[in-house]
Structures are given as structure tokens and as C-alpha cells.
């Protein structure tokens, strides 16, 4: 099971993670939460029902990573499509941000709930067991993390990600590239596990 997800009989998934992997995943999820932002909670005394009908932004984010997480619904080839994208964003982005926050929080909470044990040879780790619902949340968060890192690495298509394998160790992007590739492998095995049902 080490390094890849496997199916559990109850419909969930499990993966063996070492202490360093747990720390990296938690740190990345927390950074994702910071990037997405805290969300808009109703002000004290404000009607919580009114908050459900709050409108979001109509302009795409300026940060390339956020723009990848919250893309335009339509191309911006002409004025009509730009207006349709703005309208769509205004009514959907707040919910999308909330879901992405919940996915990242699920990752942090499940990692915080692990009990790390010695595995021999000075290595420590834990087996992460996820329910079916948590598996879907993890899948969303892994995807969001890869999109964010891919934006920071300026990866635009699959051909460019192949070039990442050939970066020399001296390249300052190498740690980010290794995280991007590792997250991709985790995501792939989790997808295979969930589709195997």
C-alpha cells in the first residue's frame, strides 16, 4: 500500500504515509486554505439566510493560481461571452470557494487525526483510512493542489509537465516539481481506487 491508495471494503480508500509525507501534505493543504481565503461569514447580527443569496465577484482573480482554481466559465473572445462569464462567476464562485475550503480542511483534519508510529529502520508513518466521502474530498483537494502548483510552475499542458521530469537537481523549482509529480501519483491511484467500485 505504500505510496498509493487502495480500496477499503467499506467503500473508502487507504494509503500508507511516512512522517515527511504527512507533514508535506498538511503544509500544502494549509497553504491552499490561505490562498483560497477565509470565506465570507455573515456579519454578527446579519441574517444567515441572506448570506446564502450573497453574490460573489464578477471579475476573475488576478493571481494565476486562483485563476486556475476559479476559471472563467466561457472564453473571453467577445463581449457577450465575457458578460456571461462574469454573471456565472457572480453566482457560483462563493459556493465553489466554500467547497474547496471544505476539501482542504478535510485533508488537514484527517492528517491531524493520524497516529504516527515507528515502522522500523528509524522511519515513522501511519495508514490513512478514508471513508467514501472523505476520499472524494481528498480527490478534490489533491486536484486543487496540483492546479495551484502547476500554475506556479507555469505548466499549461501535459507536454510541459513531461519536461519537469528532466529538470536538474540544481533547479530551484525542483522541490515544487517533485511535490507536483507526487501529488499527481497520489491523485491517480485515488481515482483508480474510486473507479474500481
Residue 1 scores a pLDDT above 50 = no
Which residues neighbour 92 within 8 Å (Cβ) at sequence distance 6 or greater? 56, 73
Among the listed residues 85, 67, 66, the one whose alpha carbon sits nearest the alpha carbon of residue 76: 85
Number of separate domains in the chain: 1
Among the listed residues 49, 29, 50, 41, the one whose alpha carbon sits nearest the alpha carbon of residue 102: 29
Task: Tell me if 75 is assigned to some domain.
Answer: no
pLDDT digits (tens, 9 = 90+) for 19-46: 999 999 999 999 999 999 876 555 566 6
Task: Tell me if 65 is assigned to some domain.
Answer: no
The pLDDT of residue 46 is 67
Which of 57-71, 74-88, 138-152 is modeled with the greatest confidence? 138-152
Task: Tell me if 156 is assigned to some domain.
Answer: yes
Task: Tell me if 184 is assigned to some domain.
Answer: yes
Task: Tell me if 21 is assigned to some domain.
Answer: yes
Task: Tell me if 48 is assigned to some domain.
Answer: no
Which domain range does residue 178 map to?
6-42+98-195
pLDDT digits (tens, 9 = 90+) for 130-183: 999 999 999 999 999 999 999 999 888 766 667 788 889 999 999 999 999 999
Amino acid at each position: 500500500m505504500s505510496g498509493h491508495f487502495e480500496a477499503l471494503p467499506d467503500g473508502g480508500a487507504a494509503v500508507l504515509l511516512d512522517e515527511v509525507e504527512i507533514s508535506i501534505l498538511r503544509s500544502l493543504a494549509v497553504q491552499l486554505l490561505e490562498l483560497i481565503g477565509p470565506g465570507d461569514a455573515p456579519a454578527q447580527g446579519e441574517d444567515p439566510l441572506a448570506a446564502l443569496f450573497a453574490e460573489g465577484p464578477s471579475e476573475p482573480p488576478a493571481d494565476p493560481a486562483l485563476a486556475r482554481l476559479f476559471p472563467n466559465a466561457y472564453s473571453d473572445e467577445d463581449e457577450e461571452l465575457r458578460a456571461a462569464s462574469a454573471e456565472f462567476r457572480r453566482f457560483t464562485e462563493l459556493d465553489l470557494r466554500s467547497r474547496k475550503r471544505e476539501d482542504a480542511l478535510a485533508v488537514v483534519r484527517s492528517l491531524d487525526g493520524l497516529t504516527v508510529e515507528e515502522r522500523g529502520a528509524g522511519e515513522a508513518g501511519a495508514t490513512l483510512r478514508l471513508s467514501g466521502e472523505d476520499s472524494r474530498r481528498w480527490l478534490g483537494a489533491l486536484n486543487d493542489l496540483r492546479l495551484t502548483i502547476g500554475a506556479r510552475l507555469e505548466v499549461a499542458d501535459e507536454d510541459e509537465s513531461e519536461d519537469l521530469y528532466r529538470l536538474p537537481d540544481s533547479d530551484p523549482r525542483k522541490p515544487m516539481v517533485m511535490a507536483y509529480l507526487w501529488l499527481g501519483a497520489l491523485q491517480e491511484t485515488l481515482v483508480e481506487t474510486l473507479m474500481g467500485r
